[in-house]
Amino acid sequence: MSAFTVRPATTADVRGIHALLEPYVQRRILLGKDLVVLFESTQQFLVAEADGELVGCGALHVMWEDLGEVRTLIVADDWLHHGVGRAIVEGLEDDARTLGLSRLFCLTFEVDFFTARGFEPIGEQVVDPDVYSQLIRSPDEGVAEFLDLAHVKPNTLGNTRMLKKL
C-alpha cells in the first residue's frame, strides 16, 4: 500500500468526496449530501489522497465560538486501519485549534475509533441556556443533532453523540 497525504480539499475533489459518501448513504450509515451542499462546504473538508485517488475525507463545521463538529469522516474500505481516519481527525483538530475552538462534537457509529481519539459520549445540557437559545435558531441539521432535538431522531437512531475538549 502506498503512502497517503492529507490536504485541504479543492472544488476538484468534490465529486470524489461524493463518490466516497455514496456507498454509506446507500447503507443508511450517513445522510446523503447534494453536490451543491458539498461544493458550498469545500473549505471545511480535508481529503486523504494516494496515487492521485481520494482515499478519505472529513469536514470541520463551526457551530459556535468554541464548538465545532467533525462531519462526513469517510475512509475507503481498502484503506481502513492504515491511519487515514486518524490523520484526517488530527488535521481537523489542528484546524479547530487554529479557528479558536476548544470543543469538537461528532455523531457516530464508530464509538471505539472516536474514544481512542479522546472523544467521550455526552448526554444533554452540553451548552448553557443562552448559547442553546442561539443554536436552536440554526437551520443546520448537525446543530440539531448536537442539541439532541427530537425532529432529527429518526435519522440518528443508534448513533452516539460524542465530545472532545481540545
DSSP symbol at 129: H
Provide DSSP, 95-121.
HHHHHT--EEEEEES-HHHHHHTT-EE
Query: What's the pLDDT score for residue 31?
Result: 77
**Stronger pLDDT, 128 or 70, i.e. the higher one:** 70
pLDDT tier at 137, thresholds 50, 70, 90 = low
Query: What's the pLDDT score for residue 155?
Result: 46
Q: What is the pTM of this model?
A: 0.84
- Weakest-pLDDT range from 75-79, 113-117, 134-138: 134-138
Contact 142, 61 (CB under 8 A): yes
